[in-house]
Structure 1
Amino acid sequence: MAGIPTFATAPGFLGLAQRDGTASYAVAGIPLDIGTTNRAGTRDGPGAIRRASRMLVDGVHPQHWTNPQAMDVADVGEFAIALGDLAASLSLIEQQAAQHAHLVALGGEHSITLPLLRALAKRLGRPLGLLHFDAHLDTWETNFGQALAHGSVFWHALNEGLVDPRRMIQIGIRSPVDRETWDWTVAQGVTIITGQQAQEVGPAALAAQVTALLGDQPAYLTFDIDSLDPAFAPGTGTPEIGGLASWQAQAILRRLGGVDFVGMDVVEVAPAYDHAEITALAAATMAWEYLALQGLRSR
C-alpha cells in the first residue's frame, strides 16, 4: 500500500500536518529500548506498528461503528530521546508529551509509560486510574541493580503518586516474580489478575470488573504486548507463555466504552523477533480499538 507511513494512513487522517498539539488525538512513536533487561529491539516498534496499521483502513469499527480515520488524529512522528541516557530520555519524553492533550504512544519499551504518566498527572492535578495489560508486574524497585528500567515503571508511578493504587488493575500477570515484590504490590491496593485467572473469568466479566474499579474518573491504558501469549505476539523482548489470545484482549477493550481514558500506550513490540508482522498488527489493532472507543464516547 502506498502513501505516507503514518498510523492507519487514510484520507481522513491529518498525517504529519499538525505537530503543534492542536489535534484532538496525537499518535507518537517513542523509539526507546535502553531500559530493557532481556532482548532489545523495541526502538523499531513504532515503525513496525505503523506499517502493520495499514491493515486497519478498509472500513469502520465493526462493533462500535465508529471511524478512527475520520477523527481529528495527527501522527506527530517520533519523540526525541537522549542517546544512551535513560533518565534524560524520560525527561525529554515527559516534556514532549506535555504538548499534547490526548496521546496515543507507540513504544518502545515500557519505561516510556512513566514520563507519560508524569505529564498527565501534572496536567490533571491528580492521580490516574490505570488499566495495565502485561505478563509482568513491573513493580520491582530495581532491575538487576538499576533503579530505572522497564520492570520498575509502576514502582516509581505508585511511589510518586501518579497512579491511585485502588484504581489500578493489572491483567495477564504470569511471569516468575519474587514474593516480596508481589506482596508489596498487593499491599498498595493494586488489583492483580493473573493470566490463568483472566482465562478462567473471561472477557465480559473482566471488562465489568475493570469498569467498576476505574469508575468515572480519568484513567490511563498501558498495553504491554507480552500480555498476549507468544503464539499471538512472538515479537517481544520478554515473552511468557500462558497469556491472553488476541481476541480476548480485543474483547475486553471493546467493552470499556464507559471508562474515561485520557491516554494510552502500546509497548514492547520488537519486530526483529516477530513473524509475519503478527505482533505489530496486534499492537496496531489495540491502538485502533482504543481510538474507536474514543469515537464512541464522543458521540
Structure 2
Amino acid sequence: MALEDARTQVDLAFTARDRRGLAYENAFGGATSFLRRRYTKDLAGVDLAVTGVPFDQAVTHRPGTRFGPRAIREASALQPFDPPYGWGFSPLEEFDIVDCGDLAFDYARVAAFPDRLTAHVAGILAAGPAVVTLGGDHYITFPILRAHAEKYGPLALIQFDAHSDLWPDDDPARIDHGTMSYKAVKAGLVDPAASVQIGIRTECPDYLGVSVIDAPEVHRTGPEAVAAKVRAIVGERPCYVSFDIDCLDPAFAPGTGTPVWGGLASWQAAAILRALAGLRVVGGDVVEVSPPYDTTGATAIAGAHVAHELICLCLWPRRGR
C-alpha cells in the first residue's frame, strides 16, 4: 500500500485491502493488532498467523502475563513502518501475515485449557499458515508443541529462558509453567538430542539430554558462537523457538513473573536470533511478558521485537517461492 493511500485509511486492522505492506498509521491510535496486520479468521492463502493466549494460571510466582498479548500488540505499533533491521527482506511486504486474535477459553475451567489451545493451534496449522504465539505464561508452549508435533513429528526445541522448565512432573493433570519442557520431552513432542536451551541461570537436577548454553557461556563466547552451536545441535530438524522473556536480564525486561539477574542483553538475543536464519523454524512463541511489573513498557517492547524476529525466522525458508 502506498504511503499516501495508507494515510487515508481508517484503522488498517479492519480496513486494509490486502494482507501485505508496511503500515504508516499513527502508532498512538487505532486497534492494536500485531504489526498493524489485519484482524481476520480467514486464513486462506495466509503465510503466517499471529495469535494471542492470555493465560497465566500456571505461574509459580507473580501473575499478570494474561495481559501480555495485549501489551505486545500495543508495543508492536512502533515497528511496521520499516522492514526489520538486519534481515535483508521485508516480511510485511513479501508475505501474507494476519492477526487472528486471541484464543477464547473459560478461565474457570483450567483443566480444559490445554486441549482447547492444542485444537486452536492445530486448526491454524491445518489451514496452512505458520503460527507465532504471544503469551501468556510458559505453560502454553506445551499444548502448542503438541499441535506442531502432530503435523511435523518430534521437534527440535530452541528455548531461550532463565529456567530450564525441566523439573519432574509426571502428573498429566498438573498445569505448571516450570515443567513444560519436562512434559514435552517425556511426551515425545521434542527430541532432546536436537534441542537446546539458551540463557539458563538457575539450577536443574536433570536436563534429560537437552543441550544447555547458559547465560555465562553466552557472555563469554558471544552470539555468533552460540548460534553456531545451536545450528550444530538442531541440524535439519523442524524446530520450534520458544522465547521466555526472562531470558533477558531484568535490566532489559523487568516485567516478568520470575526475573533472574545475569541474563542476556537485548542486543545479544537479537544477534542470536538473526544468526539462526535458515534453520527449519516451523513456529514460535514469546511468553512471560507481565506488564503490571513494568511501568515503562520496555518488556512489552522487547516482546514485540522478539515476535517480529520469530516471524522472520519462520518465513525465511519461504522466500523466493
TM-score (norm 1): 0.91
Residues 32-47 of structure 1: pairs in structure 2 closer than 5 A: 32-47=55-70
Whether the 8 Å CA contact 2:283–2:314 is kept in 1: the answer is no
Q: Identify which of 238, 263, 267 aligns with 2:258.
A: 238
Whether the 8 Å CA contact 1:21–1:100 is kept in 2: the answer is no
Residue 285 of structure 1: how far off its partner (Å): 0.3
Whether the 8 Å CA contact 1:19–1:74 is kept in 2: the answer is no
Taking the aligned partners of 2:44 and 2:215, their CA distance within structure 1 comes to 37
| Structure with greater contact order relative to length (CA < 8 Å, sep ≥ 6) | 1
**Stretches of structure 2 lacking an aligned partner (at least 5 in a row):** 1-26
Matched, 1:198 2:221: no
Q: Identify which of 145, 149, 166 aligns with 2:193.
A: 166
Aligned to 1:4: 31
Taking the aligned partners of 1:62 and 1:269, their CA distance within structure 2 comes to 23
Which residue type is aligned with residue 145 of structure 2?
L
Residue 83 of structure 1: how far off its partner (Å): 1.3
Deviations along 1:54-93, one digit per CA (max 9) or x if unpaired, are: 1111211221222232221110001022313333111110
Residue 142 of structure 1: how far off its partner (Å): 4.0
Aligned to 1:222: 242
Q: How many residues are aligned here?
A: 285
Distance 1:16 1:25, change over 3 A: same
Taking the aligned partners of 1:48 and 1:207, their CA distance within structure 2 comes to 29
Residue 244 of structure 1: how far off its partner (Å): 0.1
Aligned to 2:140: 112
Whether the 8 Å CA contact 1:167–1:190 is kept in 2: the answer is yes
Q: Identify which of 30, 33, 36 aligns with 2:53.
A: 30
TM superposition outliers: structure 1 runs of 4+ over 6 Å:
none
Residue 99 of structure 1: how far off its partner (Å): 1.1
Taking the aligned partners of 1:220 and 1:148, their CA distance within structure 2 comes to 21
Aligned to 1:123: 151
Whether the 8 Å CA contact 2:277–2:316 is kept in 1: the answer is yes
Whether the 8 Å CA contact 1:217–1:260 is kept in 2: the answer is yes
Taking the aligned partners of 2:296 and 2:62, their CA distance within structure 1 comes to 19
Taking the aligned partners of 2:269 and 2:295, their CA distance within structure 1 comes to 20
Aligned to 2:99: 75
SS in 2 for 1:23: coil
SS in 1 for 2:192: strand
Whether the 8 Å CA contact 1:142–1:148 is kept in 2: the answer is no
TM-score (norm 2): 0.85
Identical amino acids, percent of aligned pairs? 43
Whether the 8 Å CA contact 1:34–1:84 is kept in 2: the answer is no
Taking the aligned partners of 2:53 and 2:112, their CA distance within structure 1 comes to 14
Whether the 8 Å CA contact 1:66–1:295 is kept in 2: the answer is no
- Structure having the higher Rg: 2
Q: Identify which of 91, 108, 122 aligns with 2:115.
A: 91
**Stretches of structure 1 lacking an aligned partner (at least 5 in a row):** none
Deviations along 1:105-124, one digit per CA (max 9) or x if unpaired, are: 00000010001000111112
Deviations along 1:251-279, one digit per CA (max 9) or x if unpaired, are: 00011112100000000000000132110
Taking the aligned partners of 2:235 and 2:63, their CA distance within structure 1 comes to 36
Matched, 1:248 2:275: no
Taking the aligned partners of 1:149 and 1:294, their CA distance within structure 2 comes to 27
Taking the aligned partners of 1:275 and 1:210, their CA distance within structure 2 comes to 34
Taking the aligned partners of 1:202 and 1:6, their CA distance within structure 2 comes to 34
Which residue type is aligned with residue 214 of structure 1?
V
Residue 103 of structure 1: how far off its partner (Å): 0.7
Whether the 8 Å CA contact 1:7–1:54 is kept in 2: the answer is yes
Aligned to 2:206: 184
